[in-house]
C-alpha cells in the first residue's frame, strides 16, 4: 500500500534526522512520480504529501492538467531540460533541480516570467554518463549567473552513483555539502544556496545525515504496487 510505504519513508527520514540531531522539518520529501499515474499521486495527496517531481515535460504537463483540482501541489522538475522545451514548462513549476549550463540558464532567463528557484546540478562523482557542473567550477558558474534576474540559485543538486557503497555515498554527499557552504558564505543576492537536493530511494538516509534538505524518493514509495 502506498500509505504504508509513505509512512515507512517518513519514519526513515525522522530516524535519520534524529541520528544527527536535525529537526525533521528541515527535510522536504519530494515524491518522484515519473513511474506512476495521477491516481497514485492522489493517494499520496490524501496522506498530505503535496510535493511531487517529474522528469519529462510532456508527462508533467499532462499530470498538471489531470490534477488541476489539487492546487496545493508543489511541482518540481528533476530531469534534463532541453532548451527548446524551456518555454513549455518553466513558468509552470515551483523548483527546477537540474541547472547545468549557461546556455540553459540563458533560455530560462529569456522565457521565465518570474525568478525561478533552481538547484545547480553538480557532477561530484565525475561520471561521464552524468550531466552537471564540475565541483571546481561551481563557484565561478554561480558567479556567472549574477546578471540573470530570472534565476535564483536556492541550492545544489547531485546524484550519487547507484552502485556506490555507503562510505562512498557519504563522501560524495559531504563534498556537495562543503560546496554548498562555500557558495552560501559568499552571500550572493542571486544565490542564497541554502538547500541541498540529494538522496534518492537507495541512499536518502545517508544524504539526510550529511545535510540534505530535499530528498527525491520514488521507488521506495511505490514498491509492491
Domain that holds residue 115: 2-222
Question: What does the pLDDT look like over 134-183, one tens digit per residue?
Answer: 999 999 999 999 999 999 999 999 999 999 999 999 999 999 999 999 99
Question: What does the pLDDT look like over 56-81, one tens digit per residue?
Answer: 999 999 999 999 999 899 999 999 99
Shortest CA distance to 198 belongs to which of 166, 220, 169, 167? 169
- When divided into structural domains, the chain yields a total of 1
pLDDT on residue 194: 98
Given a cut of 90, is residue 88 above it in pLDDT? Answer: yes
CATH code (residue 129): 3.20.20.10
Model confidence at 130, in pLDDT bands (50, 70, 90)?
confident
Average pLDDT, the chain: 97
Greater confidence (102 vs 1) lies with 102
pTM: 0.97
Residues 126/108, Cβ–Cβ less than 8 Å: no
pLDDT on residue 224: 76
pLDDT cut 70: percent of the chain above it: 100
pLDDT on residue 225: 64
Question: What does the pLDDT look like over 107-116, one tens digit per residue?
Answer: 999 999 999 9
The x, y and z cell numbers of residue 211, run together, are 545535510
Amino acid at each position: 500500500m502506498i500509505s504504508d510505504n509513505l509512512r515507512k519513508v517518513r519514519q526513515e527520514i525522522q530516524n535519520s534526522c534524529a541520528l544527527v540531531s536535525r529537526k525533521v522539518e528541515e527535510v522536504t520529501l519530494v515524491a518522484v512520480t515519473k513511474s506512476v499515474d495521477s491516481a497514485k499521486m492522489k493517494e499520496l495527496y490524501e496522506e498530505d504529501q503535496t510535493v511531487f517531481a517529474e522528469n519529462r515535460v510532456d508527462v508533467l504537463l499532462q499530470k498538471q492538467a489531470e490534477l488541476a483540482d489539487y492546487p496545493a501541489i508543489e511541482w518540481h522538475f528533476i530531469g534534463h531540460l532541453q532548451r527548446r522545451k524551456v518555454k513549455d514548462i518553466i513558468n509552470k513549476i515551483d523548483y527546477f533541480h537540474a541547472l547545468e549550463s549557461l546556455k540553459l540558464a540563458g533560455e530560462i532567463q529569456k522565457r521565465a516570467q518570474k525568478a525561478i528557484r533552481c538547484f545547480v546540478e553538480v557532477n561530484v562523482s565525475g561520471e561521464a554518463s552524468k550531466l552537471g557542473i564540475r565541483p571546481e567550477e561551481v563557484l565561478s558558474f554561480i558567479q556567472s549567473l549574477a546578471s540573470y534576474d530570472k534565476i535564483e540559485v536556492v541550492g545544489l543538486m547531485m546524484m550519487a552513483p547507484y552502485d556506490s557503497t555507503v562510505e562512498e555515498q557519504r563522501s560524495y554527499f559531504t563534498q556537495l555539502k562543503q560546496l554548498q557552504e562555500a557558495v552560501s558564505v559568499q552571500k550572493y543576492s542571486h544565490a542564497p544556496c541554502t538547500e541541498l537536493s540529494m538522496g534518492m530511494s537507495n541512499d536518502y538516509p545517508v544524504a539526510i545525515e550529511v545535510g540534505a534538505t530535499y530528498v527525491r524518493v520514488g521507488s521506495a514509495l511505490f514498491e509492491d504496487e
